[in-house]
Structure 1
Amino acid sequence: MYDVIVIGGGPAGGSAALFTSKAGKGTLVLDNDKGVTKKAWMDNHYGVDGISGPDLVEVGKKQATKFGTEWVEDTATAIQSENGKHIVKTEAGNTYEAKHVVLATGMTVQLAEDSGITTVDGTEPRIKKIIKVDEQGKTNVDGIWAAGTVAGVSMHTIITAGDAGKVAINIVSELNGERYVDHDILK
């Protein structure tokens, strides 16, 4: 059983996985490789002097896997929650279990709705529905969180990644039983 399963491998999902795996939490990313970032060019991602979406996603994947994230290309089709654990089923017929699930599914809420997670009208242009979350990123189902565009933040990659980092810190804090911080310093 994983500590965290992240569904979606774009900037939000990759960022969540980076923080949780760097904190020593067993993390799995399920990525269907269909995110809109794969078609983007960013000249507005702070600290990067222009980068293609595919390159940004690949760098994020490398960062997360460096700390132990397992990255699987598959499509999540269902989430069942029972007795404090979540079972994620996939299109390839696999099942995975975790204490926490992060939905970082971009503009797609179908999995959330099919799994009994509350959605509301979207807040961004072209985003019809989003997952209803509290200020920490929690949904109406205990242990299931949402981050990035699907959680109602602007779809700019720097913002979705930051939102997912916030959610991941909140998950790690909950798992540890105390507030977690992750600060690296120059050596």
Structure 2
Amino acid sequence: MPRRSYDHYCAVSRALDIVGDRWNLLIVRELCSGPRRYSDLFADLPGISTDVLAARLKELERDDILTRNKVGPRAATAVYELTSAGAALRPALDALSSWGTEHLGERRPTDAVRAHWFALPLGRAVAQVLPQGTATVHIGETTLHYVITENGITHHDGPAVASDLELRLDLPTATEVATGARVLPTPDSSAV
């Protein structure tokens, strides 16, 4: 399918030509914490059809936002991973997350939710408690870790090898912290 374009000689327009299609930035969000299989992406993007997911992955690969690698026995499984150009979108996602947090409102009965979708706003909350270092955060069955440096915050799947801070949150607490309704509980605080 030919690429649609705004045909504006503008940096925002060019960026949206590449990542502005529906689902593209959510696919990038899913890949921010590490490589994912197609089935993982499909499971964590409720509402996307298999045809749309396949098309978006091909477009993002064509545009050098992600790569597709074969892994496993006989290289039977495809794993998608952000390229350096894709990873460079993280600050834009973080800014959208910050702006969007103010517009979340109450969760609607039709809203899907995944614990790792709170990774970006939780990262900002973790950085307020731990300005530099590594933190592991458990949200129910989901575990991710943050690396916080003077260059910013990144999050990754699974626990850190060595953590300066380890937190266990349930999903309601993670939601409240992510939306700013609650301060991040730390191991030495009484709020949990």
Same fold (TM > 0.5): no
Question: Larger radius of gyration, structure 1 or 2?
Answer: 2
Bigger share in strand: 1
| TM-score normalised by structure 1 residue count | 0.29
Under a length normalisation based on structure 2, what TM-score does the superposition of the two structures give? 0.28
